[in-house]
Structure 1
């Protein structure tokens, strides 16, 4: 009996040790997404990767869980429709990621390895995203492909729009001076200080190693459309007076502050040719009287042809103009003409020393083959991205996700 008791006790103890060891092993399940497992090792490696890329600690943990969960769903959908990312495609994606950071694929691998990060965690992420991209293109191509009217309308919207320019300042800190880990800690501390009222310009003078440091980090006015993708994504999230989260740059990390902003006509306005007619009402007798006269005239007038025929009845500067590039139009008229509907007469608007009525008579977009292809590709990519975001939400909603 005693021997049997000892045997059973030893067996129970062995099982307890086995189960405890399983609970603590890095390769135990941390998240189960449908039937796919994300291990504790996967979580820790992704945390390390995001820390190395300068992700703020406040959002890091939630982002790691969300991304690994989404990537599991992406792989499942890719497998379901038979999408397989080949080694050559995966390596090309990995090399492209490295090049964005000013490195070769081998150099990136070496950096990750020195930081104690398994390069496989980045490759896994890239593989999931490439498979998802191919799967979503296969699923939504017929719905996302634009026709000629879509292309012209998109180009018209772009060409007649207003773009955002920002007055930027930067803090750029290379990894070489303090090492990657300490540099990321420093930039995160600066970020938190500035968000809580700290002086960005003073921090730039002290810590930045860019040539702009002596000027408080000020870069100058920059169109947001000219910024690299990661920077533009951050800048688009903030208004004047705001500061971005840390942004990885070549061999370092940076912060950007938006000191001021302004809206300007898009440079693509030169691709649009317009003609218009204008009727002016001088304000010599007072602005109210001129506005009343313009309002009454607007009720009587019937579009471009009528305004053109009766131009002599109105004040100086009245008449028909164009065809001419939209980009050459007086800036005071641009905002009216850029948003005008063909043939419709505008509401009375003050421009200079008169009240004006303006009607857009013609508008044409001139695109060569390369420009048209670029617009078509952008529309297609934007639509696939939008469809994919919605579909991923559906997959999340229907999935069985167990976070342990």
Structure 2
């Protein structure tokens, strides 16, 4: 996607300075058509205000000009994601959006309602926030419905990965978060580099990394604030190894040029890999989707509902909120339990499950259960085979998700009206 320089400048000025009623009339203009969906100047204005507020940039014509291409690209992707969700008959309700916003508020230690209130004071329309969250949830559900079931990991692959990790005992492991700014053309490369430089400036000024990742990163980790989980030194991308090795806990990397774009990393934590004994006791949350009375739908339909409703849950509080919405009295937190004490089907569901990630649905006599590890369960040594399987599955799913959105872009009809 490329805008002519004069078109970008005109739009930046129009969005920033048109007086009423001329401005109101201008806002109703069509900025772009994505297949059968329309992006209006009003939509674009709302997202630019959101991007300015999140990145703590002054509202100037120059800043709007620099943000415009990335904001438009993200809006186009979101329309494609929502169209794909509708194609496979996935819906995102108001309660799903409310839960996701509540999770963001908890992660940032904000009071309930604090996020939208803070952005409203900066002039951001709450609908711009809700639309973005809706698209994030929809895309996670598309990935869960279409892509994750196609991923297969063989036992030999797990053994090879474990052997590689065994050779790394005593070496560092990193808990990282990312902001990924990909590009396909030289013009997009310049846009991505300029945006990355601006984001680095804002991070140095104290802007929260996770908030910027949600707004600007184009990786699958964006909806989770860019969090990547623990990565061993040997599994780091070659372009990342030297910058990551130079980081201290809490520091942010320079802008890293990779084969597909630019990346900014932050080191959340660091540890040394080593062998340990029994896994620690853990705290779990069990979310039960009761079987409807009367003539229940097919089990496959109930499992799909459970998977869709929990795909965006990032902690046990979010799972508890879903349990309250379902009015599910059998949903509960299970504290201080060791893996070997769990029933076999539950142990299999949580084996290697990362903290804050929903398990696959587990059918049972009282309904469909989904589990989440709230805390504990850690193993300071080598990961279990289940954890390795999950890691490889997530890597492949992320690769498939990138290819899928790229294919949707290539097949889309996008008509710019600027």
* TM-score normalized with structure 1 length: 0.46
Higher gyration radius (CA): 1
Select the structure that is richer in helix. Answer: 1
